[in-house]
Amino acid sequence: MKPPVRDRPACVCRYCGFCENYGCEAGARASPNQTVMPLLATNPNFELRTHARVLKVNLDATKKRAVSVTYVDASGREFEQPAELVVLAAYVLSNVHLLLLSGIGKPFDPRTGEGTVGRSYSYQIRSGATVFTDKSRPLNPFMGTGALQGVIDDYYPYHFDHGKNGFIGGGTIQCASGGARPIEYHPVPPGTPPWGTEWKRAMVDNYHHVLVLRNQSTGMAYRKNYLDLDPVHRDGFGRPMLRMTFDYQENELKLANRFADICVDIGKAMGNVKVVREAPAKNYSIVPYQSTHNTGGAIMGADRATSVVNRYLQTWDVPNVFVLGACAFPQNAGKNPTGPVAATVLMSAEAIVQKYAKSPGALA
């Protein structure tokens, strides 16, 4: 199936500095509101209900068929929307949350290893080096775009000999130029006071002279890392919250420490610089932004005993519910996930249109 394509205007300002985390003033970026939504809007069957939050997928008495979804609108009014087909595309964590709340699939039990929903949640580990250049080399960090970066792929798992390293997996090393945002961007050397005149002076001195080398690495799935429903805490709708049980494991820490050393070596090779090694955090913290590359929890597989969805992203247990997103990835590949997410979604959409719509039922 060939996806429809919509023309977009060119980037007007070349590195306006707002390319990441903001809407594009020119409509140049390939955001869904520029690419997919305008095409969908021309379809007479399409209706977009904004500010609608789905709370649950409702099943019939057999628990093998979805009949509707419950959602609330912006003013808190609750609706039940009947449905022949339900496609969950609410991102990794919300997809898993909705599956657990709706009783679709068997929740994963880390003690027995049985069950599938919430299993194989994985993430990426980061480390690197911060390089302070001398004052003759301004880096103009305010000019950048979200995706502008140099990436070294030589340490991706299949590109180097793991023998002496004592870990499996690998990753990429990146030097990004995303556009230094006001307020957010103020790198200073270690030892600088966290506020006051000295901090302001260090910020001004270093603004133009800092670059960051960082790795983005593979993350294996472990039995002890999983998602489930919180037995205590509830959200504003009275539903059990999603609980994440996750920490870095020995393999990932070894890997990230090796990568920090490599980043230091690369930094030093630039000459006339001060290099600060950024060791990986020993334990995971949800607070600092690391990446939005969460994976797993509703993984794809050929065996219903160990996976939530089949190769078409159709749930094994409720064939009229499909689940799209990186929650289908059984391991974290250490790369940016959205390309493979789009590819698997395209495959799923093709199967829905060409197979499921003609003969609803299990596709695998």
Instruction: Identify which of residues 99 and 264 has a Cβ nearer to ligand FAD in the complex.
Output: 99
> In the block, which residue shows the tokens 């690419």?
35
CB of 123 to ligand FAD, least distance (A): 12
Distance CA(224)–CA(232), nearest Å, equals 20
Q: Is 325 in the site for ligand FAD (CB under 6 A)?
A: yes
CB of 328 to ligand FAD, least distance (A): 10
Q: Which amino acid is at 337?
A: P
Distance CA(106)–CA(297), nearest Å, equals 12
Q: Is 173 exposed, middle or buried (0-12, 13-18, 19+ CB in 10 A)?
A: buried
CB of 362 to ligand SF4, least distance (A): 43
Q: Is 169 in the site for ligand FAD (CB under 6 A)?
A: no
- Asked if 244 and 228 count as a contact pair (C-beta separation under 8 A), the reply is no
Contact partners, residue 157, CB within 8 Å, separation at least 6: 168, 169, 170, 218, 334
Q: Which of 162, 186, 233, 293 is catalytic?
A: 293
| 3-state secondary structure at position 75 | coil
Catalytic residue check, 159: no
- Enumerate the β-bridge partners of residue 202: none
Pairing label, strands 149-152, 171-176: antiparallel
Instruction: Identify which of residues 13 and 39 has a Cβ nearer to ligand SF4 in the complex.
Output: 13
Show contacts with ligand FAD in window 215-254 (CB under 6 A): none
> In the block, which residue shows the tokens 């495959």?
347
Residue of the chain from 68, 94, 251, 306 that contacts ligand FAD (CB under 6 A) = 94
Instruction: Identify which of residues 52 and 147 has a Cβ nearer to ligand SF4 in the complex.
Output: 147
| 3-state secondary structure at position 71 | strand
Pairing label, strands 86-88, 321-323: parallel
CB of 22 to ligand SF4, least distance (A): 7
Stretch that binds ligand FAD, among 74-82, 83-91, 101-109, 129-137 (CB under 6 A): 83-91
Query: x/- site string to ligand FAD, residues 286 to 305, per CB under 6 A?
Result: ------x-------------
Q: With CB cut-offs between 5 and 8 Å by kind, which of ligand SF4, ligand FAD, none does residue 199 bind?
A: none
> In the block, which residue shows the tokens 């001195």?
205
Give the footprint of ligand FAD on this chain (CB under 6 A): 21, 52-54, 89-91, 94, 147, 292, 325-326, 336-338, 341
Which residues carry out catalysis? Answer: 293
